[in-house]
């Protein structure tokens, strides 16, 4: 494959990276504005619309880690990159608080010593749980890369299957909440997803070599998320059973959520390369995708921005108003996050130039 084709194919995954962050924004808009009602209880058309969007978006975080595994398995560990990731997170955790406090009243609990530790040590304090897992995986990259490439394809596949049985299959099949189940909000789950992405890069999946099959798996997984959620909520509402696992189909380490992520990921891997102009635009925008997440999930904004767009009130409004508000809020937060991260990139570049010049001098 030529270098040009490789760049264009990479642009497909960069587009998916952007889409995954838009999907994450849908999750935060719907969940934190309390737009997800009980599907088996009293609900209206907006409840169904919210749950359809939720089901289509739940694979987003797994998608992002699949992309990371796909690219990083052939990359070298760089201390400078690790420092830049931590600095980027600090920029949002501390920076958002400073800017917000300059214009608005900050709640008392956001000004305690413990809160300030969160602003200053966001990775250790797990302000962004995904970033904490990602940073740990990145620090393990030299070991992961060497270890994965030192074993055979069969051995690597066996390890992934065993880990999935342990972390995902039992959780999906058993009608109980397992003591070890952390719902996918931790390092082990994203290590497994990272390894699946790496397997794609090294060996591919022979049954997912066509985009159509990938998209079919994505929509089938999303449909099953919705169907199982409805079934579990129905049983809980009408028979007072299975209450502890009604949320299980919406958790990141559930089999249907993983299948949806693997499906859409494989589809984008196998799509035809983009045209050069489109690829250039996508590759220019994709580095700012993570900033969209870091801004909207910063401590000062994560439960506030939904109110700016009057999303809680949308639950009882006509369906078209509901959709306009949700899509409008998501688009606005994506554009805002992209703009803020563009500024952040320029500031970081300026700092590098200044300190690089001093080093030379």
The whole-number pLDDT of residue 356 equals 72
pLDDT digits (tens, 9 = 90+) for 183-220: 999 999 999 999 999 999 999 988 899 999 999 999 99
Under a CB-based contact definition with an 8 Å cutoff, are residues 211 and 270 in contact?
Answer: yes
Domain count, the chain: 1
CA pair distance 27, 29, nearest whole angstrom: 5
DSSP class per residue in 332-359? HHHHHHHHHHHHHHHHHHHHHHHHHHHH
CA pair distance 228, 236, nearest whole angstrom: 12
Residue 347 has pLDDT above 70, yes or no: yes
pLDDT digits (tens, 9 = 90+) for 267-310: 999 999 888 899 999 999 999 999 999 999 999 999 999 999 99
What is the extent of the structural domain holding 66? 3-360
CA pair distance 138, 86, nearest whole angstrom: 11
The whole-number pLDDT of residue 6 equals 39
Query: How large a percentage of the chain has pLDDT more than 70?
Result: 96
pTM, two decimal places: 0.93
The whole-number pLDDT of residue 2 equals 35
């Amino acid at each position: 494959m030529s270098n040009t084709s490789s760049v264009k194919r990479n642009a497909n995954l960069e587009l998916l990276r952007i889409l995954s962050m838009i999907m994450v924004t849908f999750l935060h808009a719907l969940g934190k504005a309390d737009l997800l009602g009980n599907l088996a209880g009293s609900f209206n058309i907006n409840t169904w619309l919210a749950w359809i969007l939720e089901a289509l978006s739940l694979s987003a975080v797994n998608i992002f880690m699949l992309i990371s595994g796909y690219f990083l398995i052939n990359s070298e560990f760089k201390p400078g990159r690790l420092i830049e990731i931590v600095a980027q997170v600090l920029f949002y955790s501390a920076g958002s608080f400073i800017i917000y406090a300059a214009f608005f009243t900050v709640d008392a609990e956001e000004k305690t010593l413990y809160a300030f530790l969160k602003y200053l040590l966001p990775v250790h304090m797990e302000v962004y749980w995904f970033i904490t897992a990602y940073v740990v995986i990145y620090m393990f990259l030299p070991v992961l890369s060497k270890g994965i490439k030192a074993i055979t394809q069969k051995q690597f596949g066996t390890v992934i299957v065993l880990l999935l049985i342990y972390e995902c299959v039992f959780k999906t099949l058993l009608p109980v909440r397992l003591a070890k189940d952390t719902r996918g909000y931790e390092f082990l789950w994203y290590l497994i997803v990272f390894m699946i992405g790496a397997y794609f890069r090294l060996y591919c999946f022979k049954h997912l070599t066509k985009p159509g099959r990938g998209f079919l798996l994505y929509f089938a997984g999303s449909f099953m998320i919705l169907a199982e959620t409805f079934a579990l909520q129905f049983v809980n509402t009408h028979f007072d059973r299975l209450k502890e696992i009604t949320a299980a189909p919406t958790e990141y380490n559930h089999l249907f959520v993983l299948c949806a992520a693997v499906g859409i990921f494989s589809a984008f891997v196998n799509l035809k390369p983009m045209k050069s102009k489109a690829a250039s635009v996508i590759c220019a925008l994709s580095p700012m995708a993570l900033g969209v997440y870091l801004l909207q999930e910063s401590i000062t904004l994560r439960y506030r921005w939904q109110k700016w767009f009057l999303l809680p009130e949308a639950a009882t409004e006509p369906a078209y108003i509901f959709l306009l508000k949700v899509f409008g809020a998501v688009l606005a937060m994506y554009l805002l996050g992209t703009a803020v991260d563009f500024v952040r990139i320029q500031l970081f570049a300026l700092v590098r130039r200044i300190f690089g010049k001093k080093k030379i001098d």
